[in-house]
Amino acid sequence: MLVVLAAFKGYAIEATDGSMGTVSDFLFDDMTWKVRWLVVDTGTWLKSRRVVVHPAAIRKVDYERRELLVTLKMAQVEASPGIGHDQPVSRQAELDLYEYYGWDPIWGGGGYFGARNESGAGGVKAPLSRPLFRAPPHQPGDASLLEVEQDPHLRSAAAMNGYHVHATEGTIGHIENLLVDDTNWDIRYVIIDTRDWWPGSHVLISPYAVTAIRWEDHDVRLNVTIAEVKSSPEWDPFAMVTQVYEKELHHHYNWPGYGSY
């Protein structure tokens, strides 16, 4: 099922023996468009460091109770490798977490564009051609390697909201949210609010259309025209996205299909 990613913010994360806290954000790979980590607000528990959980740990999503049930124990999380509050998540930190929990780095597949393809959405180059998350060895506190180790493609989903979106001829609106597949945590569509250009309308754009994300400028570039956006199949934000609608949308833009179509 496709779900607005921000709707999960505030969901309780329930370990097998207690409550770990609530979802505060998501970190996704801007090349494969796959959610890689859930960021947990632990409240007064483990407040000394940041806690992230891989989607592979989720055993059930309870939409009525607004809970994510995970296959983890509180003590297991408490003893996990730490990530500082003010530090970016490095490749080494990710590798440590994968090894500690036994999680698969390419769980659910590599996203729509593959874990290590030579090109990704709209021809944007994929992040790494070497094995996944293999960072150079270092000593704690070695600041000279921090920049090398940071994963520049791991991005905050919350921070992306509000980014300006540009079609080939000009701006068409701003990012309002992301639609995610709750089975494999792939980001399926970007939700664009077009109110400044096309009042009252929201449109869905696939990552296939993204040619560049300029993080420093807070904008996203697409390979679609304004005319194509305006004539695209109408999307109802209050209705579920059906496979029929997705087929129409992908046919309109000549995008590849997802999985079964």
Q: What is the pLDDT of residue 259?
A: 61
18, pLDDT greater than 50: yes
Q: What is the pLDDT of residues 205-259, one digit of tens each?
A: 999 999 999 999 999 999 999 999 999 998 998 889 999 999 999 999 999 887 6
Q: What is the pLDDT of residues 216-228, one digit of tens each?
A: 999 999 999 999 9
Q: What is the pLDDT of residues 123-168, one digit of tens each?
A: 333 322 222 233 333 333 433 333 435 667 888 999 999 999 999 9
Q: What is the pLDDT of residue 119?
A: 34
* Of 49 and 141, the one with more pLDDT: 49
* Of 149 and 35, the one with more pLDDT: 35
260, pLDDT greater than 60: no
Q: What is the pLDDT of residues 164-201, one digit of tens each?
A: 999 999 999 999 999 999 999 999 999 999 987 887 78
Under the phi-then-psi rule, with left for phi > 0, alpha for psi from -120 to 50, and beta for the rest, what region is 34?
Answer: beta
Q: What is the pLDDT of residue 124?
A: 33
Q: What is the pLDDT of residue 35?
A: 95
Q: What is the pLDDT of residue 138?
A: 36
Q: Which of 201, 198, 186, 212 is nearest to 237 (CA)?
A: 201
Decide: 117 and 132 in contact? Cβ < 8 Å.
no
Mean pLDDT over 47-75 rounds to 93
Q: Which of 247, 227, 226, 245 is nearest to 236 (CA)?
A: 245
* Of 109 and 240, the one with more pLDDT: 240
Decide: 116 and 105 in contact? Cβ < 8 Å.
no
Question: What confidence tier does 114 reach under pLDDT thresholds 50, 70, 90?
Answer: low
What are the start-end ranges of the E strands in 18-64? 18-29, 34-41, 51-53, 58-62
